[in-house]
C-alpha cells in the first residue's frame, strides 16, 4: 500500500489535470479509482460536503478490494487551491 504522502501526491496530480482540462466539470465529480492498494473515491464541491470551493477535490481512500459494506476510510482529506 502506498504511503499517505504518495496518495496525496497522486490525488493532487489528478485534481491538477481536471482543473486544467476546460472540458471537465470538477465540481460535479464523483469518481472511483483503484490505485496503490487503495479504492479511492474522489468527489467535487457539488457531491461532497467537505469540498468548500468549486475547485476543491475531496478524497476518501479505502482498502482496495473491499466487499459487502463500505468500510470507514483509511484516509480522508480535501485538496484545494492552497494544497
Sign of CA dihedral 17, 46, 52, 7: negative
Give pLDDT tens digits along the chain (83 positions).
Answer: 999 999 999 999 999 988 877 556 788 999 999 999 999 999 999 999 999 888 899 999 999 999 999 999 999 999 986 54
Strands 75-79 and 38-43: unpaired
What's the total number of domains in the chain? Answer: 1
pLDDT at site 83: 45
Domain range for 57 is: 4-79
Amino acid at each position: 500500500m502506498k504511503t499517505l504522502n504518495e496518495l496525496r501526491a497522486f490525488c493532487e496530480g489528478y485534481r491538477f489535470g481536471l482543473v486544467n482540462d476546460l472540458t471537465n466539470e470538477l465540481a460535479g465529480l464523483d469518481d472511483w479509482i483503484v490505485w496503490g492498494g487503495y479504492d479511492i473515491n474522489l468527489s467535487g464541491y457539488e457531491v461532497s460536503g467537505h469540498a468548500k470551493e468549486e475547485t476543491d477535490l475531496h478524497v476518501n481512500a479505502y482498502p482496495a478490494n473491499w466487499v459487502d459494506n463500505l468500510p470507514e476510510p483509511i484516509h480522508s482529506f480535501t485538496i484545494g487551491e492552497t494544497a
